């Protein structure tokens, strides 16, 4: 989603734990993105950092995960770039977000999170973001 006045993308995500909603966020990104893939990566980076914080919090409560938390993502190009850590051909036009790409790939390789790609129609966060956009735009 895009703010019509500032041209900044709107980030929206939800985090659930054991099928219970824990965190829901919708906010304008701090800077203008040069592409939709860049906007999605900014959102994925913010979400990944929040999931890592939540994971550490849960572990401090002496609870454990059977597997890394799964982050559900709906950007096809982003899914290809995320999954293909050896390919530089897909990232040439995204060198300006290279640090975010490396962060996301690193937490995936360390099994701290998993990324699952699904259609936008299955995204709960997308539904919530569209409801909130009218207030932010």
Would you state the pLDDT for residue 2?
A: 65
Instruction: Tell me which of 132 and 8 has the higher pLDDT.
Output: 8
Would you state the pLDDT for residue 91?
A: 56
Name the CA dihedral angle for 73, 74, 78, 84, rounded to a multiple of 10 degrees.
60
8-state DSSP, 132: H
CATH class of 10-136: alpha beta
The residues facing 10 across adjacent strands are 28
Would you state the pLDDT for residue 50?
A: 92
- Structural domain boundaries of the chain? 10-136
pLDDT tens for 15-61 read 887 778 888 888 888 889 888 878 888 888 898 899 999 888 888 88
pLDDT tens for 4-17 read 777 888 888 888 87
Beta-carbon contacts of 44 under 8 Å, excluding residues fewer than 6 positions away, are 71, 73, 78, 82, 100, 104, 115
pLDDT tens for 48-94 read 899 999 888 888 888 776 667 877 777 666 676 676 665 554 556 66
């Amino acid at each position: 989603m895009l703010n019509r006045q500032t041209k900044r993308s709107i980030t929206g995500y939800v985090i659930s734990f054991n099928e219970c909603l824990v965190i829901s966020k919708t906010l304008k990104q701090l800077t203008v993105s040069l592409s939709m893939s860049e906007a999605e990566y900014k959102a994925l980076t913010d979400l990944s950092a929040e999931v890592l914080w939540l994971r550490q919090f849960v572990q401090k409560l002496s609870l454990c995960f059977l597997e890394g938390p799964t982050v559900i993502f709906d950007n096809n190009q982003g899914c290809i770039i995320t999954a293909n850590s050896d390919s530089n051909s897909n990232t040439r036009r995204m060198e300006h977000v290279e640090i975010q790409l490396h962060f996301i790939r690193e937490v995936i390789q360390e099994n701290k999170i998993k990324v699952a790609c699904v259609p936008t129609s299955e995204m709960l966060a997308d539904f919530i973001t569209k409801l909130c956009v009218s207030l932010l735009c």
